[in-house]
Structure 1
């Protein structure tokens, strides 16, 4: 039960509790549940501010805070995914051994981890406490879950995880364990074998045109789907060395390094064309694609390189689907995808991205 150990630096104040209960994000039914859990019935006629003030006077604990945090949606944000290919030849047993070492490391932090295997795929389901003291009291310390998957691929094993600092730490521990396992396979006196890890990156190709080409080919390259439209494009321009060396706020030292364009058809706009001419390249994009079928559903995607200057740390997300109703009509809103659909599109994007990287590298060579 290590996850229940509190690791916050302070407790929530009565005022913070009063403030959060006055937010419209918490419904009156949820307020009623809080009181009912203490054996108290409340009237529909009682003003919210009175209910909040009275509840904040009660003693409250970790479980109360977690329940209230769940009401204000602190755990609902879906994170982008990121992936790497482990190209070194490995056995599933070696993957499991490294996973068990990561599990031990996670549990040493008083977090929870479960390992499961099926058809050569190793999964780690992790529950951990995430802290962000820049947020309001009830969003500073929240329980998050993460699925880390290692599955066989044509190139070796593919490691997929949510894109955030915590799972990056887990990945580092896992890969370090694998590195040690691979090195230990070498006989005494032989050169130690090293772990070969490949990621989706154009760090060594800094041509703006080729970096933009990656995204243009990606949004047009999902097998079985046809580009419908681009809704958001974010472009980046690294700061030139001359400006980096400038001191003071002279006119020649001014440099705009990023811009965003929103709206349908942004890749066809004159604005983005002019940015291309000035050396900008796309670093993040949101787009929609239709199934290559009669009466297709519309899917929404997002992809980016978080390290914009080096064009690395690639992440992606299948955001949702707008269902086709018939007679040329669609549902009004996009809805979330199932876990199986998310995994399907993750593999589709990964496959397309790796192929495009290889193509661009050959073109540059």
Structure 2
């Protein structure tokens, strides 16, 4: 079974009241669905990247918070609220960079705050409805991202992408790869160059797998080969997602993205960040204020090898993300339109329109 536009990456099973997600650590060799209902298992799935991609993490956290809350045994509202806050804070501790995680958890918390007189049973119903709404909104948002992104592309374009910002990073369609999926549906043809994305290989494992499943011509590159294909004129656009957009347009995305942006700038190739407005953090003034998650050194030294490929005891620097300066970004594509420089004005305007 392969991912497709009819397969949702993250969803709620309303019959069993479980969070259902594709275990992305098993791809591409094995397609496994996880069914989770315990807080510890959901937290582990987020931390260990069984679910990954900022939008998918947010949806998983919202559904996960509901399925955990639904199993609370207390009928006492004060005790319920206390247990809810503890579960929310626990999920919030899973990953620090993806703003969608906190956005989704805050939306769930607002349901509790807005209904101080509701019974615990009523709150469980309201939390279920909010989690489903977040899930459905993600599908709609990604389709709209795809429409705006597709307006920037031409049939036959070569497109380079880094990490995975496709359907596997969302519920459906994806962010940066949503224009590709929609274009293919309409008979367009693209050649997608997929950076492998060291050290966790989300590009070669996930994006290449997803593009092949969609029938898109795909070529995998080692990360240090991006300059070569750009130099040869094979790339007409770069599409990437992101985990957080600062108010000035700086973006945090998977480690290596800033290097791709620098190369695209040198070769005069448009560099597009495709991100829902839920990823925009107007309270964060610039990329220097974005917390960058540090991952275990074993991901670099051991993960893909039978034995360590590094000398014993050597220091390892393994940030999960880097920050791309806004000056390197041609445009930021959102579900409400395309933002162009100066981003401090265009992003604020788009976020304002999203609340109207």
Q: TM-score, normalised to structure 2's length?
A: 0.25
Q: TM-score, normalised to structure 1's length?
A: 0.24
Q: Whose helix proportion is higher, 1 or 2?
A: 2
Rg larger in 1 or in 2? Answer: 1
Q: Whose strand proportion is higher, 1 or 2?
A: 1
